Amino acid sequence: MTETLHAATAARGHRPDLEPAPTVLQIRELVVGPRPQGGGAATRNLVDGASLVVHRGEMVGLVGESGSGKTLTALAAADLLPAALQIRGGQVLVDGVDVAPLGRRAARRHLSSSVGIIFQNPTSSLNPRLRIDAQLREALPRGTSRQQRRELTGDLLGQVGVPNVVKTLGAYPHELSGGLNQRVMIAIALARRPGLLIADEPTTALDVSVQAQVLDLIDQLRADLGIGVLLVSHDIGVIADRTSIVSVMSQGRIVETGDTAEVLRSPRHDYTRRLLAAVPQRLAPLRLRSAERDESPVHLEITQARRSFVVRGPAGSRHFTALDGVDLTLRQGQAIGLVGESGSGKTTLARAVVGLERLDSGTIRYQGQDPDELDRAAHRRWRRDVQYVFQDPYSSLDPRLTVQQTLREPLELNHSGLARATVNRRVEELLDEVELPGAFRTRFPSELSGGQRQRVGIARALASDPALIVADEPVSALDLSVQARVLALFGRLRQERALSFLFISHDLTVVRYLCEDLVVLRRGTVVEQGPTETVLRQPAHPYTRSLVDAVPGRALSTLPAPTDALDGVDPATREEGP
C-alpha cells in the first residue's frame, strides 16, 4: 500500500518524482482502549487496528465523525492520550522510532523535537495567565540563550504571518482573535522544527475566511519546510481541498484509505458514501417559496436597528458597534439566512428579535407591532409565537431536567389547564416530530449525543406552536450526518407548518440549502441581500465575494451526484449515545 500512496501523492503534485520521501509517521495496527481496572470485565477498544502513513512534504487527511477514533489516533501518535486510556497493541513509529513501548520520559524526549501539535480550540489550549512571549519561550529547545529566545519568538510569529509581532508578544490570549491565537498555536508547534505536524480540527471554531487563511498557512509551511502534516477533521470539504491522501475512520477502524480525489470520486465503503451524501455542498437546496408568496404577510420587520457595547480590557474601555442601521423584512413562510463573520452582529440581531437584547435605537416589529408596546396578554402570545434555537445544545438544556420535563415546561406555561395525559401525549408527538424515540423522554441531557440534544432543543421551540423560529448557528457543532438530518428536519417543519425562519450561520453551504433569501452582515451593517442563489453565484460586494471564495470543498463540485444520506437509516438508531 505504501508504494500506491507514494504514487498517488506524486500524481497530485506534492512531490516532483516517485522516489519515496522519508516517513515521519507510520501507525501499524494501533489499538487504544481503557486501562484495566481491578479485574473488571474487558472493555471494547476505542481504536481497533488503525494503520496510516505520513511522509515528509505531504498532507494526509484523517476524517470521521465524533466517536470514530480519529482524535485518539492522533493523540496516541503524540503520546498525549488521556490518563484513563492506553495503547493496547500495534506500533507508532515517529521518525522510525516506535514510541509505544517507550517509557513516558523517553517518549516525550523523542517526540518533543519530532512532533508539533495544533489543537482544535486555540483559546482554551493556550495558558490564559501567560503572555504570548512567555508561552513561545517555553516551547523553544532547552539551552537556548536569552538573546536567541528573544530573536526566535519574533521570528516564529513572523513565520506564521502575525502582522504586529511586538504587540502580539506582549498580549494575553484573551486579547487576541481566534485566528491570531491559532497562528500562535502553530508557531508554538513549529518552535522545535518538527518533521511532523498534527493538526486536530484546527479550524472548526473559526470563521470561513479565517479558516482559509490558517489552512493556507499550514499548507505553505508544509511546502516550504518539507513538514509532513496529519490533518484530522470531520469536514469533507477541507479534506478534499487540502490533502493528497485520506483515511476514513468509523467506530475505531480505518475503513478506507487512498488518493483523496479517488476516494471521494469512487468511495468503496458505505460509511464513506454516507459521509459524502451528507456534505451540505451536495444537498439539493430547498425551494419552498413561490413568486405568489412574495405577497404573504410580513412577520418580522426590522428598521434601522442599532446596538453598541462598552468593552473593558487591560488597555481600557472601548465602544464596539454590533449593529449599525440594520433593515430586514421577513414574510410568512420565508426563510432568510443571516451570514457574516464573528463580530458582524448576527447573534446580537437574533437576540434582539426574541427580546434577549435591547436596541439602542430602531424598531423591531412582529406582525406590525412593537413587542415592548404590547399589553400583558399580547406580549405572552408574542413570547409563544417567536422561539429561539440556541447554538450550543450542551449549555442550552437544563442538566437537572429530563427530556419530558424540558418539553412539559413550555406546554404547561402556554396552555394552562391541560390535563397531564394530554401534556404527556403532546410530549410524545414532539419527540416523534423531531425523530427521537419515545423512550428518550426519561433521559437527562448528559445521556444524549450532541445531535439528540439539538433535536430536544428544536422540540422545545416547537412546543409553543410558534410562527417564527430564530435559529442561531444550530448545526455548527454537529457531525455531517447529524447536521444533514437536522437540516432536513428544519426543511420538513417549514413545509408542514409554514414556519418563518431567521437562520443565523457563518456557513454559506448550510444557508444555501435551507434559505431562499440571504442577508450578509459586516461590522453591524448589511452589505448585500437578495435571493440566495443570486447572491452566491454573482456576489456584488467584495466582502461577500471573499466569503464565497473562502468556502471549502470546491473539489467536491466535480463529484457524482450523491444518494440520499438518510436512506435505510432507522430514526431510532440514527445516532449513538455519548
Residuewise pLDDT in 10s, the chain (578 residues):
334 333 333 333 444 445 668 999 999 999 999 988 766 556 789 999 999 999 999 999 999 987 789 999 999 999 999 888 999 999 999 999 999 888 888 888 899 889 999 987 777 789 999 999 999 999 998 888 888 888 899 999 988 988 889 989 999 998 888 888 889 999 999 999 999 999 998 887 677 888 888 899 999 999 999 999 999 988 888 999 999 999 999 999 999 999 999 999 999 999 999 888 888 877 777 776 654 556 788 989 999 999 998 877 556 677 889 999 999 999 988 999 999 888 889 989 999 999 999 999 999 999 999 998 999 889 989 999 999 998 877 788 999 999 999 999 999 887 777 788 899 999 999 998 888 888 899 999 888 877 788 889 989 998 988 999 999 888 876 778 778 888 888 888 888 888 899 999 888 888 988 899 999 999 999 999 999 999 999 999 999 999 998 888 877 766 665 554 444 333 333 344 44
By three-state DSSP, how is residue 376 classified? helix
DSSP alpha helix (H) spans, 415-497: 420-433, 450-462, 480-497
Question: Could you list the residue range(s) of the whole structural domain that residue 145 is in?
Answer: 126-190
Residue 109 in contact with residue 156, Cβ under 8 Å? no
* Domain finish residue from 136, 161, 190: 190
Specify the pairing of strand 316-331 against strand 335-339: unpaired
Judge if 273 and 415 occupy the same domain: no
Between the CA of residue 211 and those of 179, 240, 416, what are the distances in Å? 8, 15, 48
Look at phi and psi of residue 199 and say left if phi exceeds 0, alpha if psi is from -120 to 50, else beta: beta
**∠ Cα 466 472 474 (to 5°):** 90
**Is residue 320 one of the residues assigned to a domain?**
no
At 271, list the grid cell. 460509511
Q: How far apart are CA 429 and CA 456, in angstroms?
A: 12
Residue 568's pLDDT is what?
37
Amino acid at site 167: K
Judge if 185 and 204 occupy the same domain: no
**Is residue 518 one of the residues assigned to a domain?**
yes
Judge if 28 and 152 occupy the same domain: no
Residue 47's pLDDT is what?
95
**Is residue 573 one of the residues assigned to a domain?**
no
Q: Number of folded domains in the chain? A: 3
* Domain finish residue from 190, 216, 237: 190
Residue 14 in contact with residue 56, Cβ under 8 Å? no
**Is residue 274 one of the residues assigned to a domain?**
yes
**Is residue 377 one of the residues assigned to a domain?**
no
Residue 257 in contact with residue 1, Cβ under 8 Å? yes
Judge if 405 and 271 occupy the same domain: no
Closest CA to 329 of 300, 292, 367: 300
Residue 323 in contact with residue 523, Cβ under 8 Å? no
Domain containing 231 — which CATH number? 3.40.50.300
Closest CA to 207 of 553, 552, 554, 555: 552
**Is residue 324 one of the residues assigned to a domain?**
no
At 502, list the grid cell. 431567521
Judge if 166 and 261 occupy the same domain: no
Q: How far apart are CA 511 and CA 503, in angstroms?
A: 7
Q: How far apart are CA 35 and CA 47, in angstroms?
A: 13
Judge if 7 and 133 occupy the same domain: no
Judge if 203 and 183 occupy the same domain: no
Specify the pairing of strand 525-531 against strand 517-522: antiparallel
pTM: predicted TM-score of the whole model, two decimal places = 0.79
At 37, list the grid cell. 481496572
Judge if 340 and 487 occupy the same domain: yes
Judge if 108 and 181 occupy the same domain: no
Judge if 155 and 265 occupy the same domain: no
Strand order in the sheet with 253-259: 115-118, 196-200, 228-233, 59-63, 245-250, 253-259
**Is residue 319 one of the residues assigned to a domain?**
no
Amino acid at site 76: A
* Domain finish residue from 279, 299, 324: 279
- The residues with which 324 forms a beta bridge, in sequence order, are 306
Closest CA to 51 of 83, 73, 34: 73
Judge if 198 and 185 occupy the same domain: no
**Is residue 119 one of the residues assigned to a domain?**
no
Judge if 78 and 207 occupy the same domain: yes
